[in-house]
Amino acid sequence: MSKKKRNPQKTREKILKAATKLFAEKGFDGARVDEIAQKAKVNKALIYYYFKSKEEILDEITKQFLEESLRRKHQLLTRTEGMDKKELIQSSAERIFDLYKGNEDVLRIIITEELKSEKKQWPLFQVLDMGLADGLKMARDIGISIKKKDRLLRAAFYFGFVPIAFFTLLKDEWARYYKTDKKRDQKEFIEVLKKTYFRFLMEELEE
Residue 22 belongs to a domain with what CATH number? Answer: 1.10.10.60
Residue 118 lies in a domain: yes
Residues 108 and 170 both lie in one domain: yes
Residues 44 and 67 both lie in one domain: no
pLDDT range class, residue 36, cuts 50, 70, 90: very high
Q: Please say whether the beta carbons of 123 and 68 come within 8 A.
A: no
Q: Residue 26: its pLDDT value, please?
A: 93
Q: How many helices (H) and strands (E) does the chain have?
A: 11, 2
For 80, the 3-state DSSP assignment is: coil
Please state the domain count of the chain: 2
For 7, the 3-state DSSP assignment is: coil
CB atoms inside a 10 Å sphere around CB 200: 18
State the average pLDDT for the chain: 81
Q: Could you report the per-residue pLDDT of 79-121, keeping only the tens digit for each?
A: 666 666 666 666 666 666 777 778 889 988 988 888 887 766 7
Residues 129 and 162 both lie in one domain: yes
Residues 157 and 74 both lie in one domain: yes
CA dist., res. 8 & res. 114, Å (int): 29
Residues 129 and 200 both lie in one domain: yes
pLDDT range class, residue 19, cuts 50, 70, 90: very high
Domain that residue 47 falls in: 1-51
pLDDT range class, residue 207, cuts 50, 70, 90: very low
Averaged over 182-205, what is the pLDDT? 81
Give percent of the chain above pLDDT 90.
32
